[in-house]
Amino acid sequence: MVVVLEKNITANQTLNIVKHLEEYGFRVHKTVGVQQTILAAIGVKPEFDTRKIKILDGVAEVYRITEPFKLASRQAKEDNTIIKIKNVTIGGDEIVVMAGPCAVESEDQINKIAELVSKNGAKILRGGAFKPRSSPYAFQGLGEEGLKLLKQAAEKYGLLVITEVMEIGQIELIGEYTDIYQVGARNMQNYSLLKELSKVNKPVFLKRGLSATIEEMLMSAEYILSNTNKDVILCERGIRTFETYTRNTFDLSSIPVVHKKSHLPIFADPSHATGMRDKVIPMARAAVAAGADGLMIEVHHDPDAALSDGPQALFPDQFSEMMRQIKLIAEAIGRKI
Amino acid sequence: MVVVLEKNITANQTLNIVKHLEEYGFRVHKTVGVQQTILAAIGVKPEFDTRKIKILDGVAEVYRITEPFKLASRQAKEDNTIIKIKNVTIGGDEIVVMAGPCAVESEDQINKIAELVSKNGAKILRGGAFKPRSSPYAFQGLGEEGLKLLKQAAEKYGLLVITEVMEIGQIELIGEYTDIYQVGARNMQNYSLLKELSKVNKPVFLKRGLSATIEEMLMSAEYILSNTNKDVILCERGIRTFETYTRNTFDLSSIPVVHKKSHLPIFADPSHATGMRDKVIPMARAAVAAGADGLMIEVHHDPDAALSDGPQALFPDQFSEMMRQIKLIAEAIGRKI
Amino acid sequence: MVVVLEKNITANQTLNIVKHLEEYGFRVHKTVGVQQTILAAIGVKPEFDTRKIKILDGVAEVYRITEPFKLASRQAKEDNTIIKIKNVTIGGDEIVVMAGPCAVESEDQINKIAELVSKNGAKILRGGAFKPRSSPYAFQGLGEEGLKLLKQAAEKYGLLVITEVMEIGQIELIGEYTDIYQVGARNMQNYSLLKELSKVNKPVFLKRGLSATIEEMLMSAEYILSNTNKDVILCERGIRTFETYTRNTFDLSSIPVVHKKSHLPIFADPSHATGMRDKVIPMARAAVAAGADGLMIEVHHDPDAALSDGPQALFPDQFSEMMRQIKLIAEAIGRKI
Amino acid sequence: MVVVLEKNITANQTLNIVKHLEEYGFRVHKTVGVQQTILAAIGVKPEFDTRKIKILDGVAEVYRITEPFKLASRQAKEDNTIIKIKNVTIGGDEIVVMAGPCAVESEDQINKIAELVSKNGAKILRGGAFKPRSSPYAFQGLGEEGLKLLKQAAEKYGLLVITEVMEIGQIELIGEYTDIYQVGARNMQNYSLLKELSKVNKPVFLKRGLSATIEEMLMSAEYILSNTNKDVILCERGIRTFETYTRNTFDLSSIPVVHKKSHLPIFADPSHATGMRDKVIPMARAAVAAGADGLMIEVHHDPDAALSDGPQALFPDQFSEMMRQIKLIAEAIGRKI
């Protein structure tokens, strides 16, 4: 931690600051500059609340020097985390596509979609059985019945399964059906849930919260990594800004940033980021071009009839076209799908 | 719902839009303007996803005309919701102060703070026993032991209790000790938790999420109101913006907005909004002046030694001074503390 | 400047960083911590672009230790800047109210409004003659004729004048009529304009840009102070956020922050911050309670007929009521109007 | 304009609203819904301030139905605007790259950079002669001398010139040297400047403001188009959000949005959007993949020695590599460079 002192600090104020630092367990090293003095507080305390020092008289600014996340950090593990689930490898050269409907609606629906997902080269079937909806009056998902239909369809077409878990009580049940647990954006800081998921033996797909910084996303990954689970896949899905012409602002810069700061793979979800299917193809291309390790895409055999999020689901033809285009982009940057 | 058509729409596109609206169960009423035509889609479907129409060719814009919340709306209930808990009335003329430490740390700590809270005219004792922390390595609260100490201290000094619930599994336990359930900002859209709280018979104190719009806060209140629970207290605690000199941006305009849109009382939490104790007093005054029905304040008998959030806790003398000042402000606007 | 090195930095990378720092003119002082080393770069170079170091291999983070503004800083000048213009004192105990219409529209209009502004205890008459409008098709102001009418009305009712300057070419003309130059939010970083205003001998009222941090507002003040002009009045008028129920988000926390960081007075403009007159009175009260040194308020004798911004202009009765209420708040916090 | 009335509106309130609408020149058409009534206000008044109606008692919501921009709108002009300057065509199939240093620093510097820009297939040389700097103490550019050097270098290597204009007084001078006027992000709403540029006969490159919505960017384009100038090139360069790991948030979704809403070409500037050169290549690729009509890139033969913005300038080798990669991406999506 670095403590910058005010120019006109008194000797007593400096003494008081040093005393506080020492009581909190730091060794203090002083550097006198031309106009200002700085104190280097030596000692590793990632959880230390720097405001405890910032609030003291005579302190101009305080900087934490260690990032608050450790296990998620590239400094802790230089090589990329590669996650292998059955025949699918996430985090390597291959760009992996997860696709499917917002929600599982019926056996017929999920089978039709699984077929088209598989036929076009995607490897993982997505679909919600428990849905977090902002209105208590909206469709809330089929529950366990949905999980069963999802797993059957995935097996029939040789796909893996990813589905969302919303609460601790669902972890065991969902674990019987899914290959990957999805944590939605609104639960990115549901620490109780994250702690429980740190103990499961399946990968967790962690979506960035609407207003979460990249650092906070990595801190939430840290929660999951802090126990036995070592497999976290991050996902950029748009952040909240002042712009109203799009549903969210798709922060694609987070992809190279995460690749620098962390060894974890990062996906992108252009369906939720833009909220409208006519924006999904260009933004899927952009995500791949920016270096995303995979995509999560909503697709429906009949989007007009979808029970939720139909407007952001691609039509089957659009999905095929998107897959065709991103394969070309992947090749252009030396990757494959 | 109002559908604005594009200027150069074709007859077939218009027919297709009307057909979709009718299939979704709306009656359609057309108004031809000078340059553009609008379709009024008649029928009450608050959960309808307007993007289903927006995505159709020829549609320029779609506006929902009913607010998505109903039970939380001033239109549904004209009179202010007044919540009486023992001898405390929330939502009336009186401005109610909830105060206490971030977390319950020990019997001695909570008793000392309860005494000073009570002595200065606050009515409700706050204190966390289960703490949502952004780092898995930080102090996570005393759990049930904390709840016991909190309740004992509150009873000793004639105070009510408010404490945070983080997950469904804690609801019953916490219910034995608290008068009001607090839902933290990060859980504002934890719909599983909100649904369970809609069935309890104690008021819920719902903090605005960091990136939640006022409308979303009211939708989360709607979740809680959608069952038997009728007592929700909202709380403004700052939103996330680009500004970095303050921890959050305290959106005090939300207070008159909520009072216009809803019958529910709204409090303000200047401690979390600003994150630094030297900003708490002016912002507490501002919140009362803006019309807040109450305040939630962090105070500690020894903030330097606090296990969490010490820098935003007031010193005892500051708390007394704040109470003195906000009493004057309350009188100036015809209210009392 | 403080440079934090990466944990696994090589000796050569460290040498390269030190070499760069020395070439840029800094002396370097190294502190070896438990896990990481930091370099203190000694030398005062407020304009140094810290990214030059941040981009080097082996650098984890770089912190500037001096604030980029100097003349605007409380460290440079401990006492509050008090600005006296004729019989009005800004920045002292008295809270000064500037009020008037968005735009000067006619002699009758500005006289009627000047009378009511004066009668209710405001000291300064505002009114635009040159209007920055987001649409090229909207009313653009009366120009010099507006300036004349404004000055005549102000003199008749014993008020000072404040009006907006939009471009360098207007400075001289406006100077003949106004007591204070107003720089609008959209011009807060129009550096060409600020530089010219650094040479005039009248105070400048600088409104915070929609997306300007407090630091950037103080940097813009620095531009104006960097020459002979020493009189800058800052103004909080709301920032752009994701919230849509209000026009802007009124960041009242900026008031105590500016008072701590700078010696310059800061006003608040609840009319532009909220954009709707029914929010103006509570937010005016809140601004005074938060410690604002003054208010800028839009008022019109007939808001329905106003040529611009009528919806945020108070009716005469509302203005009287607001003045009455903020006098009580001012007294409650030991100030006066 | 559509006016939604409150559920419990009185007959008198409705009459008053209709009266106001008619006085403002609208014809009114009423539609009675199940719970609420809406009024369609017929008449084209793009500059009408909808808050005039929103403020009336009994009004729940008001929606403008026409976009505020006209000449910039795709509805006004269906075909893409193609801008031809000498041998360069902007807005067609070809993706055009503008590249060069942040600022012109010397003859040697600009010549070296022009050579490398040209050699790698970029068509337009950028370089600032008048620099808007947030600190009054930072390098402000070489002025006219810089313009001369820029033009000479461009001619020598067969490039067009783009350079920034900051104030009205510079328009004529800069016009002697540049092929395209650049308006910087901070001047996007400097309406005085935009109005003057509406009369020049050279294209204007308009950068999106830090906190400007896409609609506001199009409104600023409208200002320039409102006179004789028909050639505006838009540029996405990142918006301000809460994220701090990147300088700005590069809103690439704006590219497909602008292509839908407007006929104007849109470029992207990954150098300013990310602020760090190691993010520029992936984000340049992403911009091209998203459909940008061109790129603006900062490159320097010796970034370490650059007088401004060195950290975001590519090294010569990186620039070559970027050009190579984006050519592949362009081909993948059926365009060329």
CB contact (8 A) between residue B311 and residue A20: no
CB contact (8 A) between residue D136 and residue C304: no
Closest by Cβ to D216, choosing from C68, C133, C134: C134
Q: How close B190 gets to chain A, by Cα (Å)?
A: 7
* Conformational region of residue D93, where left means phi above 0, alpha means psi within -120 to 50, and beta covers everything else: alpha
Are C288 and C267 spatial neighbours (Cβ–Cβ below 8 Å)? no
| D141 and D46 belong to one structural domain | no
Nearest chain B residue to D4 by CA distance is B65
Let me know if residue C68 belongs to a domain. Answer: no
- Mutate one of C27, C31, C61 to test the A interface: name it (highest A CB count within 10 A): C31
| C275 and C138 belong to one structural domain | yes
Range B282-288 average pLDDT: 98
Let me know if residue C70 belongs to a domain. Answer: no
Which residues pair with residue C251 across a beta bridge?
A: B251
Let me know if residue C76 belongs to a domain. Answer: no
Which pLDDT score is estimated for B46? 67
Which pLDDT score is estimated for B38? 86
Q: How far apart are CA D309 and CA D292, in angstroms?
A: 23
Map residue A82 onto helix, strand or coil: coil
- Say which CATH number the domain at A195 has: 3.20.20.70
Q: Interface partners of B (3+ CB pairs, < 8 Å)?
A: A, C, D
| A220 and A182 belong to one structural domain | yes
In order, the DSSP letters of C107-171 are HHHHHHHHHHHHHTT--EEE-BSS---SSTTS----THHHHHHHHHHHHHTT-EEEEE--SGGGH
Tens of pLDDT, residue by residue over C198-252, are: 999 999 999 999 999 999 999 999 999 999 999 999 999 999 999 988 889 999 9
CB contact (8 A) between residue D282 and residue A255: yes
What is the residue-averaged pLDDT of chain A?
A: 92
Q: How far apart are CA C148 and CA C139, in angstroms?
A: 18
Tens of pLDDT, residue by residue over B15-29, are: 999 999 998 889 898
Segment holding A5, helix H or strand E: strand A2-5
Domain count along chain A: 2
Phi and psi of A296, rounded to 5°?
Answer: -115, 125
Q: How far apart are CA A328 and CA A330, in angstroms?
A: 5
| A7 and A105 belong to one structural domain | no
Order of strands across the sheet that contains D59-63:
D27-32, D37-42, D2-5, D59-63
Q: How close A65 gets to chain C, by Cα (Å)?
A: 6
| A279 and A320 belong to one structural domain | yes
Query: Between C311 and C81, whose confidence is greater?
Result: C81
Q: Is the pLDDT of residue B231 over 80?
A: yes
| C6 and C91 belong to one structural domain | no
CB contact (8 A) between residue D283 and residue A332: no
- Burial class from Cβ neighbours inside 10 Å (0-12, 13-18, 19+) for residue A11 reads exposed
Segment holding C205, helix H or strand E: strand C204-207
Q: Which residues contact C128 (CB under 8 A, 6 or more apart)?
A: C101, C102, C103, C104, C141, C146, C163, C164, C308
Q: Does D323 touch chain A (CB under 8 A)?
A: no
Map residue C28 onto helix, strand or coil: strand
| D56 and D113 belong to one structural domain | no
Residues of A in contact with D325 (CB under 8 A): 332-333
| Residue that terminates a domain, selected from A63, A91, A112 | A63
| C150 and C251 belong to one structural domain | yes
| B317 and B168 belong to one structural domain | yes
Q: Which two tokens stand for residue A149?
A: 């239909």
CB contact (8 A) between residue C211 and residue B242: yes
CB contact (8 A) between residue D61 and residue B65: yes
> Mind listing the pLDDT tens digit of every residue in chain A (337 residues)?
889 898 888 999 999 999 999 988 898 988 887 778 889 888 877 678 888 888 888 888 888 877 778 899 998 899 999 999 999 999 999 999 999 999 999 999 999 999 999 999 999 999 999 877 767 777 778 899 999 999 999 999 999 999 999 999 999 999 999 999 999 998 999 988 999 999 999 999 999 999 999 999 999 999 999 999 999 999 999 999 999 888 899 999 999 999 999 999 999 999 999 988 899 999 999 999 999 999 999 999 998 888 777 788 999 999 999 999 999 999 999 999 9
Q: What is the pTM of this model?
A: 0.88
Which pLDDT score is estimated for C206? 98
Which pLDDT score is estimated for C49? 83
Q: Does D175 touch chain C (CB under 8 A)?
A: no
| C154 and C56 belong to one structural domain | no
Residues of B in contact with C273 (CB under 8 A): 253
Let me know if residue D167 belongs to a domain. Answer: yes
Q: How far apart are CA A328 and CA B8, in angstroms?
A: 36
- Mutate one of D19, D66, D131, D137 to test the C interface: name it (highest C CB count within 10 A): D137
Which pLDDT score is estimated for B30? 87
Nearest chain D residue to C193 by CA distance is D167
Q: Which amino acid is at C25?
A: G
CB contact (8 A) between residue A20 and residue B191: no
Q: Interface partners of A (3+ CB pairs, < 8 Å)?
A: B, C, D
- Mutate one of D6, D7, D13, D38 to test the B interface: name it (highest B CB count within 10 A): D38
Which pLDDT score is estimated for C261? 93
Which pLDDT score is estimated for B197? 97
Residues of C in contact with A6 (CB under 8 A): 75
Q: Which two tokens stand for residue D1?
A: 């304009």
CB contact (8 A) between residue A38 and residue C2: yes
Q: How far apart are CA A236 and CA D173, in angstroms?
A: 46
Q: How close C46 gets to chain A, by Cα (Å)?
A: 12
CB contact (8 A) between residue D276 and residue C54: yes
Q: Is the pLDDT of residue B232 over 90?
A: yes
Q: How far apart are CA B98 and CA B323, in angstroms?
A: 11
Q: How far apart are CA D181 and CA B336, in angstroms?
A: 61
Tens of pLDDT, residue by residue over A200-211, are: 999 999 999 999
Closest by Cβ to C311, choosing from D49, D134, D277: D49
Tokens 């006619």 sit on residue:
C106
Q: Is the pLDDT of residue D134 over 70?
A: no
Q: Which two tokens stand for residue B163?
A: 């404490």
Q: Does D31 touch chain A (CB under 8 A)?
A: no
Let me know if residue B243 belongs to a domain. Answer: yes
Q: Which two tokens stand for residue D334?
A: 């059926």
CB contact (8 A) between residue A49 and residue B311: yes
Residues of B in contact with A226 (CB under 8 A): 136-137
Tokens 């969490």 sit on residue:
B308
- Say which CATH number the domain at B24 has: 3.30.70.1140
Residue C46 pLDDT level (bands cut at 50, 70, 90) = low
CB contact (8 A) between residue C42 and residue A35: no
Range C17-46 average pLDDT: 85
CB contact (8 A) between residue C240 and residue A242: yes
Secondary-structure breakdown of chain C: helix, strand, coil percentages, each rounded to the nearest 5: 35, 20, 40
Nearest chain C residue to D211 by CA distance is C211
| D38 and D99 belong to one structural domain | no
Phi and psi of B65, rounded to 5°?
Answer: -105, -15
Q: How close A184 gets to chain D, by Cα (Å)?
A: 19
- Mutate one of D190, D194, D242, D280 to test the C interface: name it (highest C CB count within 10 A): D190
Let me know if residue D73 belongs to a domain. Answer: no
| A187 and A238 belong to one structural domain | yes
- Mutate one of C211, C218, C242, C243 to test the B interface: name it (highest B CB count within 10 A): C243
Q: Which of residues 250-279 of D touch A (CB under 8 A)?
A: 250-257, 260-261, 273-274, 278-279
SS (H, E, C) chain B: CEEEECCCCCHHHHHHHHHHHHHCCCEEEEEECCCCEEEEEECCCCCCCCHHHHCCCCEEEEECCCCCCCCCECCCCCCCCCEEECCEEECCCECEEEEECCECCCHHHHHHHHHHHHHCCCCEEECECCCCCCCCCCCCCCCHHHHHHHHHHHHHCCCEEEEECCCHHHHHHHHCCCCEEEECHHHCCCHHHHHHHCCCCCCEEEECCCCCCHHHHHHHHHHHHCCCCCCEEEEECCECCCCCCCCCECECCHHHHHHHHECCCEEECHHHHHCCHHHHHHHHHHHHHHCCCEEEEEECCCHHHCCCCHHHCECHHHHHHHHHHHHHHHHHCCCEC
Burial pattern C23-42, b for ≥16 Cβ within 10 A else e, equals: ebebebbebebeebbbbbbb
Q: How close A64 gets to chain D, by Cα (Å)?
A: 15
Cβ atoms within 10 A of the Cβ of A244, count? Answer: 11
Let me know if residue B77 belongs to a domain. Answer: no
Q: How far apart are CA D332 and CA A332, in angstroms?
A: 7
Segment holding A329, helix H or strand E: helix A316-332
In order, the DSSP letters of C244-259 are -SSSSB-BTTHHHHHH
Are D129 and D143 spatial neighbours (Cβ–Cβ below 8 Å)? yes
CA angle C143, C148, C150 (to 5 degrees): 95
| Residue that terminates a domain, selected from A15, A30, A63 | A63
Which residues pair with residue B167 across a beta bridge?
A: none
Q: What is the ipTM of this complex?
A: 0.90
Smallest CA-to-CA distance from B198 within B230, B222, B229, B232 is with B229
CB contact (8 A) between residue A311 and residue B54: yes
Q: Using only C-alpha atoms, what is the Rg of chain B?
A: 23
| Residue that terminates a domain, selected from B33, B63, B93 | B63
CB contact (8 A) between residue C34 and residue A44: yes
Let me know if residue D71 belongs to a domain. Answer: no
Boundaries of domain holding D194 = 83-332
Closest by Cβ to B211, choosing from A49, A226, A240: A240
Residues of D in contact with A214 (CB under 8 A): 243, 245
Q: Does C298 touch chain D (CB under 8 A)?
A: no
